[in-house]
Amino acid sequence: MIYTVTFNPSVDYIVRLDALEIGALNRTSDTAKYAGGKGINVSRILNALEVPSTALGFAGGFTGSFIEEALQTQGIHHDFIKVAGDTRINIKLKTGEETEINAAGPMIDTSDIDRLKDQLSKLTTEDHVVFAGSVPSGHDDLYANLARLLESKGVEFTIDAEGDKLTSTLEHGPYLIKPNLFELEGITGRKPSSKAEMIEAAASLLDLGAKNILLTLGSDGALFINPEHRYYIPSPAGTLKNSVGAGDSTVAGFISRKGHPLTEQLRYAIACGSATAFSDDLATRGDIEDLLEKIEIHTIEEVK
């Protein structure tokens, strides 16, 4: 079973306006509400691909209930830990350009963390955990502690996080990490300008323990690096409509084909990420399948 962990989920409130006038009354042209959060996005894409998962994390209040009900309606299993505060609401303002207003989440105390650890301690080597996004305030070492727990049980995990939250887990051997170029620069202290330099910078993280690295480059596609393979995967042609969830969709696509040939994992990863970027919300299965045959994978024989 795949388990996704979202420490700080949200109700994503999508607000569309023809134009925004600051200091005046504005009326929306359309609104929508979705269960949000990076791990939840992974579960939603896995569900679209008919790959079962269980969404874990913390949820509270009427907004937490909304998330649980939304996932239940979609047929996504969940086992959230109930917390005292309300799950946050994030505003995604679309007026031609996209503006995000993300709220702070509820307080998470040590007993809540202990309950999550208890959930993860029951997993087996047949399971896979996806960690994604921010951690609760005051728990900066949470990723490292949970990665250590999973490593001790032989449970593989994927992590999609920034900075120290990511690097603190590398010694525990994550199956997949998915930095973007900006995040890679922050982690390595390098500013690569060519694909060869990007691969070299990303490959330095293999020495620290990462098993597979998928470096996303936005409209330029992605680079894949592991000890045996180097690939460049350009993005398929399409119109960017939505950047929210594209990276999470990429992770879901890769994990969804775990156990299949690596090239198939990469094809699904880029198809899922691109399909979400070309959609108003997360991609549907039809969106993804339309792109699968358009994904090209190029081998990089030598990096100088």
| Class (C level, CATH) for 1-19+28-130 | alpha beta
- Region label for 275, one of left (φ > 0), alpha (ψ between -120 and 50) or beta (otherwise): alpha
* Cβ-proximal residues to 60 (8 Å cutoff; 6+ apart), any chain: 82, 83, 84, 85, 86, 87, 106
Region(s) of the chain under CATH 3.40.1190.20: 1-19+28-130, 175-304
Enumerate the H helices of the chain as residue ranges: 38-48, 61-74, 110-121, 142-153, 163-167, 181-188, 195-203, 246-256, 262-277, 285-292
Residue 303 has pLDDT above 50, yes or no: no
For the beta carbon of residue 263, count every other beta carbon within 10 angstroms: 16
pLDDT at 196: 87
CA distance linking residue 273 with residue 288, whole number of Å: 9
CA distance linking residue 141 with residue 11, whole number of Å: 26
For the beta carbon of residue 211, count every other beta carbon within 10 angstroms: 14
pLDDT, tens digit, for every residue of 179-220?
Answer: 999 999 988 888 888 888 999 999 999 999 999 999 999 889
Q: Is residue 302 very low, low, confident or very high in pLDDT (cuts 50, 70, 90)?
A: very low
pTM assigned to the model:
0.91
Give the residue-averaged pLDDT of 223-246.
90
Residue 89 forms beta bridges with which residues? 11
Q: Is residue 304 very low, low, confident or very high in pLDDT (cuts 50, 70, 90)?
A: very low
Percent of the chain whose pLDDT exceeds 70: 99
The residue with tokens 């309606």 is 73
pLDDT at 134: 83
The vertex-286 CA angle with 126 and 67, nearest 5°, equals 60
Report CA 85 to chain centroid distance, whole Å. Answer: 24
pLDDT, tens digit, for every residue of 16-26?
Answer: 999 999 999 99
pLDDT, tens digit, for every residue of 34-44?
Answer: 999 999 999 99
The least confident of 148-152, 158-162, 241-245, 262-266 is: 241-245
Mapped onto helix, strand or coil, the DSSP state of residue 5 is: strand
Q: Are 177 and 210 in contact (CB under 8 A)?
A: yes
Active site residues: 248
| Class (C level, CATH) for 175-304 | alpha beta
Looking at every residue in the chain, the average pLDDT score rounds to 92
Dihedral sign, Cα of residue 288, residue 249, residue 63, residue 101: negative
pLDDT at 23: 94
pLDDT, tens digit, for every residue of 119-168?
Answer: 999 999 999 999 998 888 788 899 999 999 999 999 999 999 888 999 99
